[in-house]
């Protein structure tokens, strides 16, 4: 019996073996095709119910199986899973195209769409119909047969290439380790960092200390190590993932992806991939994204240059360094920050025990949105590190299942993300509730200490939990409009707004307690956290803008086929935002997973775009009180629960009462 083909509520992880995936996905594709065939062969006149709603309900089994599979390919991959991913990606790409390029099906969708004015639909129904019709028309339904065949070929190739890209980045990351046996090489490192590195060494049957490119190992090393050459070694290794002369080189992969995306956009009648993507985003066009980015750049660049000069002077005064390099950035920034604000990350960590921070974010969700979280051990997981919770409202109604996976391991890619194993939707008279998961890479507990988070890790947890709330509180009729199924430049609002609570005394008092004494974080630390929040904000803004501008350069250019060198092209794209000297053997693009593996192509700007929304939204909370029930309820009702049922700006204005302005962001960042 294949567990993936049985009816299940929560994912049956412990029963699934690798051999189950391909037959299950194959069968689920067949089932989805049958469901679509029922719509096509229905002899009745196409209506909203027998076509639009029926189509939204198709492919549920396929969606659930592939969601499980692809999250495991990111969180707990193996050679076997990677091989399966390569085999099934073309199947899924072909299935998607079989549906979108099916003339009979599109004809039915178009019949309903063409008479939408006479159907008396509510806004959510209108949005479903609009989204569905555009899903076809924007992806080739109107093409002739020759062009449809060409589109299929491109999509199959793109699905293979993005998988290849991710595998190469992971392989290069896993292949590197820095093994130290001389204790003098550890000068400057906090005890907890040394202890963690010793445990990594022991796990590899080595003496001494091992540092890797996993963030909890990499970041503290480059931040605290007094050994400049070793910081350089680690930073250069991090920066050359996908650029080395080995089988994991991503240069050709990047150029192929960019060219195929451009070709695809042209085939569909768009000038560039960015024009295609942005048509359906809040930003609407590459021109608007560039205008937005350049406006912020003009405000951030003078501040960034001042901050950089000041940091360079500081390094020179302290250690006689004439030229600040990328591997000096975190080290001297942390030293200067400590000097200016008397604030040390290591001083803060004892107050951020992982379990307490989890408890804190749950308490904040309860105060704001009336949610209760109960850890339960009976839900199946794919790894012993994964925690599972039953989420209810304060009156006991079931809201969601919540999974949380916090620590790095070999088969897990770096970074942090939220995913969903089951979408919320209303079927018949049942409101089917979602199953939501967050995956992070936080400092592991050691033999003598629990998992103590850096402040940056605390904000990351809040960020991903904000996405999770968007999924958990979803309350829409249709699954394709539910939860985080919103415009990409709106999706970061719930995640980024929640980060603001990490800086507020009232919130920190709930969970920032010393792991040994239970003493609440001293208020002077809270003040310092707040004071230092805009430290080097000019440089941070410039860095974030540089990634967004690089993304637009790759995807809004009219002739990518003329690009021959990934590295040279990237250097040109970074020209306006560059502060540090270039490192010849490093390249951002060859490991830029957000845009070449994830869904952020022509969309990386959305982090900054959503920051304007989040600063403006949080200003409302600050005006009324950060736990003000009325404001929180408005946010829940008009943003978190509504998913993509209406245009984002409509939802935002309904919550805020007005359109957002960038002033709150610039003020928060200390740029005005």
Predicted confidence (pLDDT) per residue in 524-574, tens digit: 998 899 889 899 999 999 999 999 999 999 999 989 999 999 999 999 999
Amino acid 193: pLDDT: 94
**Structural domain boundaries enclosing 212:** 176-239
pLDDT tens, position by position, 39-91: 999 999 999 999 999 999 999 999 999 999 999 999 999 999 999 999 999 99
Is residue 117 domain-shared with residue 191, that is, in the same domain? no
Is residue 13 domain-shared with residue 126, that is, in the same domain? yes
Q: Give the model's confidence band at 174: pLDDT under 50 very low, under 70 low, under 90 confident, else very high.
A: very high
Q: Report how many domains make up the chain.
A: 2
- Is there a domain that residue 94 lies in? yes
Q: Mean pLDDT for the chain? A: 95
Over the range 120-135, which residues count as b (16 or more CB within 10 Å of their CB) and which as e?
Answer: ebeebbebbbebbbeb
For residues 415 and 218, give the distance between their C-alpha atoms in angstroms, rounded to a whole number: 12
pTM: 0.91
For residues 9 and 17, give the distance between their C-alpha atoms in angstroms, rounded to a whole number: 18
405 - beta bridge partners? 439
Say yes or no to pLDDT of 410 above 90: no
Amino acid 530: pLDDT: 87
Percent of the chain with pLDDT over 70: 100
For residues 296 and 282, give the distance between their C-alpha atoms in angstroms, rounded to a whole number: 17
Residues with Cβ within 8 Å of 209's Cβ and at least 6 positions away in sequence, in order, are 179, 180, 181, 185, 186, 194, 197, 198, 200, 201
For residues 385 and 408, give the distance between their C-alpha atoms in angstroms, rounded to a whole number: 10
Q: How far is CA 236 from CA 36, 173, 241, 568, in A?
A: 51, 12, 9, 18
For residues 216 and 357, give the distance between their C-alpha atoms in angstroms, rounded to a whole number: 17
Burial classification of residue 226, based on how many CB atoms lie within 10 Å of its CB (0-12 exposed, 13-18 middle, 19 or more buried): middle
Say yes or no to pLDDT of 672 above 80: no
Amino acid 32: pLDDT: 97
Q: What is the mean pLDDT of residues 426-446?
A: 94
Question: Where among 187, 220, 239 does a domain terminate?
Answer: 239
For the chain, helix, strand, coil in percent to 5 are 60, 5, 30
Q: Are strands 178-180 and 417-422 parallel, antiparallel or unpaired?
A: unpaired
Per-residue H/E/C for 74-110:
HHCCCHHHHHHHHHHHHHHHHHHHHHHCCHHHHHHHH
Give the CA angle between residues 35, 37, 38 to the nearest 5°. 70
- Is there a domain that residue 93 lies in? yes
For residues 334 and 343, give the distance between their C-alpha atoms in angstroms, rounded to a whole number: 9
- Is there a domain that residue 148 lies in? no
Nearest-CA neighbor of 223 among 407, 406, 310, 349? 349
Is residue 30 domain-shared with residue 132, that is, in the same domain? yes
Q: What is the CATH number of the domain that holds 72?
A: 1.20.1050.40
For residues 411 and 248, give the distance between their C-alpha atoms in angstroms, rounded to a whole number: 16
Say yes or no to pLDDT of 666 above 90: no
- Inter-residue contact 417 to 464 (CB < 8 Å): yes
For residues 213 and 219, give the distance between their C-alpha atoms in angstroms, rounded to a whole number: 9
pLDDT tens, position by position, 390-401: 999 999 999 999
- Is there a domain that residue 255 lies in? no
For residues 216 and 226, give the distance between their C-alpha atoms in angstroms, rounded to a whole number: 18
pLDDT tens, position by position, 331-363: 999 999 999 998 888 889 999 999 999 999 999
Is residue 185 domain-shared with residue 67, that is, in the same domain? no
Nearest-CA neighbor of 593 among 266, 232, 161, 207? 161
- Is there a domain that residue 90 lies in? yes
Hey, is 178 helix, strand or coil?
strand
Amino acid 70: pLDDT: 95
Amino acid 667: pLDDT: 86
Q: Are strands 435-439 and 398-405 parallel, antiparallel or unpaired?
A: parallel
Question: Where among 118, 142, 166 does a domain terminate?
Answer: 142
Instruction: Please list the active-site residues.
Output: 464
Is residue 115 domain-shared with residue 217, that is, in the same domain? no
Q: How far is CA 636 from CA 326, 433, 609, in A?
A: 41, 16, 21
Q: Give the model's confidence band at 663: pLDDT under 50 very low, under 70 low, under 90 confident, else very high.
A: confident
Is residue 133 domain-shared with residue 184, that is, in the same domain? no
- Is there a domain that residue 269 lies in? no
Q: How far is CA 296 from CA 290, 293, 325, 648, in A?
A: 10, 5, 25, 22
Hey, is 519 helix, strand or coil?
coil
Residues with Cβ within 8 Å of 376's Cβ and at least 6 positions away in sequence, in order, are 388, 389, 390
Amino acid 668: pLDDT: 86
Q: What is the mean pLDDT of residues 583-594?
A: 97
CB-side neighbour CA atoms (13 Å) of 249? 11
Question: Where among 187, 215, 239 does a domain terminate?
Answer: 239
Is residue 118 domain-shared with residue 214, that is, in the same domain? no
Say yes or no to pLDDT of 245 above 80: yes
Say yes or no to pLDDT of 459 above 90: yes
Amino acid 662: pLDDT: 86
Say yes or no to pLDDT of 384 above 90: yes
pLDDT tens, position by position, 87-115: 999 999 999 999 999 999 999 999 999 99
Q: What's the full length of the chain, in residues?
A: 672
- Is there a domain that residue 162 lies in? no
Structure tokens at 187: 């000068």
Is the four-CA dihedral 594, 598, 600, 601 of positive or negative sign?
positive
Q: Cα(first)–Cα(last) distance of the chain, in Å?
A: 63
For residues 508 and 505, give the distance between their C-alpha atoms in angstroms, rounded to a whole number: 5
pLDDT tens, position by position, 467-482: 999 999 999 999 999 9
**Residue 111, φ and ψ in degrees, nearest 5:** -60, -45
Is residue 120 domain-shared with residue 181, that is, in the same domain? no
DSSP state of 206: -
For residues 278 and 487, give the distance between their C-alpha atoms in angstroms, rounded to a whole number: 10
Q: What is the mean pLDDT of residues 184-188?
A: 97
- Is there a domain that residue 63 lies in? yes
Q: Give the model's confidence band at 303: pLDDT under 50 very low, under 70 low, under 90 confident, else very high.
A: very high
Hey, is 214 helix, strand or coil?
coil
Is residue 137 domain-shared with residue 206, that is, in the same domain? no
For residues 139 and 157, give the distance between their C-alpha atoms in angstroms, rounded to a whole number: 16
Is residue 18 domain-shared with residue 134, that is, in the same domain? yes
Is residue 210 domain-shared with residue 136, that is, in the same domain? no
Give the CA angle between residues 77, 409, 215 to the nearest 5°. 115
Cα 342 from chain centroid (whole Å): 32
DSSP state of 241: T
Is residue 118 domain-shared with residue 187, that is, in the same domain? no
């Amino acid at each position: 019996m294949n567990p993936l083909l049985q009816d299940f509520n929560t994912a049956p992880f412990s029963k699934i073996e690798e051999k189950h995936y391909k037959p299950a996905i194959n069968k689920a594709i067949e089932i989805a095709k049958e469901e679509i065939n029922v719509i096509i062969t229905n002899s009745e006149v196409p209506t909203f119910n027998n076509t639009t709603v029926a189509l939204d309900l198709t492919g549920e089994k396929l969606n659930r199986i592939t969601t499980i599979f692809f999250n495991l390919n990111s969180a707990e991959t193996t050679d076997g899973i990677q091989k399966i991913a390569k085999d099934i990606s073309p199947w899924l790409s072909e299935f998607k195209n079989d549906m979108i390029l099916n003339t009979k099906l599109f004809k039915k969708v178009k019949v309903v769409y063409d008479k939408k004015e006479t159907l008396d639909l509510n806004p959510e129904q209108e949005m479903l119909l609009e989204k569905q019709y555009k899903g076809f028309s924007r992806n080739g339904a109107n093409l002739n047969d020759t062009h449809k065949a060409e589109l299929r070929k491109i999509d199959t190739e793109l699905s293979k290439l993005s998988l290849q890209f991710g595998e190469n980045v992971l392989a290069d990351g896993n292949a590197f380790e820095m093994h130290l046996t001389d204790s003098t090489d550890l000068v400057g490192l906090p005890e907890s960092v040394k202890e963690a590195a010793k445990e990594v060494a022991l796990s590899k049957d080595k003496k001494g200390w091992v540092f890797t490119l996993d963030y909890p190992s990499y970041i503290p090393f480059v931040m605290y190590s007094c050994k400049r050459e070793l910081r350089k070694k680690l930073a250069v290794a991090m920066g050359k993932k996908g650029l080395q002369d080995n089988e994991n080189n991503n240069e050709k992969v990047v150029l192929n992806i960019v060219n195929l995306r451009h070709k695809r956009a042209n085939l569909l009648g768009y000038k560039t991939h960015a024009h295609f993507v942005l048509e359906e985003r809040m930003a609407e066009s590459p021109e608007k994204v560039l205008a937005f980015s350049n406006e912020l750049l003009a405000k951030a660049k003078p501040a960034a240059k001042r901050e950089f000069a000041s940091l360079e002077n500081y390094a020179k005064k302290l250690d006689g360094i004439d030229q600040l390099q990328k591997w000096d950035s975190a080290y001297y920034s942390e030293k200067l920050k400590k000097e200016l604000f008397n604030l040390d990350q290591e001083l803060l960590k004892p107050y951020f025990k992982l379990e307490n921070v989890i408890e804190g974010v749950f308490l904040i969700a309860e105060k704001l949105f009336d949610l209760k979280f109960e850890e339960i051990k009976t839900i199946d997981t794919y790894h012993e590190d994964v925690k599972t919770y039953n989420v209810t409202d304060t009156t006991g109604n079931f809201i969601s299942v919540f999974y949380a996976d916090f620590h790095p391991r070999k088969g897990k890619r770096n970074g942090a993300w939220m995913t969903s194993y089951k979408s919320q939707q209303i079927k018949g008279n049942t409101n089917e509730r979602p199953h939501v998961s967050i995956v992070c890479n936080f400092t592991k507990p050691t033999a003598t200490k629990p998992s103590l988070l850096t402040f940056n890790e605390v904000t990351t947890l809040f960020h991903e939990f904000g996405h999770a709330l968007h999924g958990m509180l979803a309350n829409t009729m249709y699954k394709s409009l539910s939860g985080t199924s919103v415009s990409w430049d709106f999706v970061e609002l719930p995640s980024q707004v929640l980060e603001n609570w990490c800086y507020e005394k009232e919130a920190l008092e709930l969970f920032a307690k010393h792991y040994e004494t239970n003493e609440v974080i001293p208020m002077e630390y809270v003040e310092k956290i707040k004071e230092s929040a805009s430290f080097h904000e000019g440089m941070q803004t410039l860095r974030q803008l540089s990634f967004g501008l690089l993304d637009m350069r790759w995807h809004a250019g009219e002739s990518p086929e003329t690009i021959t060198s990934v590295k040279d092209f990237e250097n040109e794209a970074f020209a306006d935002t560059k502060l540090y000297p270039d490192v010849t053997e490093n390249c951002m693009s060859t490991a830029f997973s957000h845009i070449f593996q994830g869904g952020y192509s022509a969309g990386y700007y959305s982090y900054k775009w959503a920051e304007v929304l989040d600063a403006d939204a949080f200003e409302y909370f600050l005006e009324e009180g950060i736990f003000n029930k009325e404001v929180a309820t408005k946010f829940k009702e008009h943003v978190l629960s509504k998913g993509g049922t209406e245009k984002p700006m409509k939802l935002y204005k309904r919550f805020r009462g007005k359109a957002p302005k960038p002033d709150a962001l610039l003020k928060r960042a200390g740029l005005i």
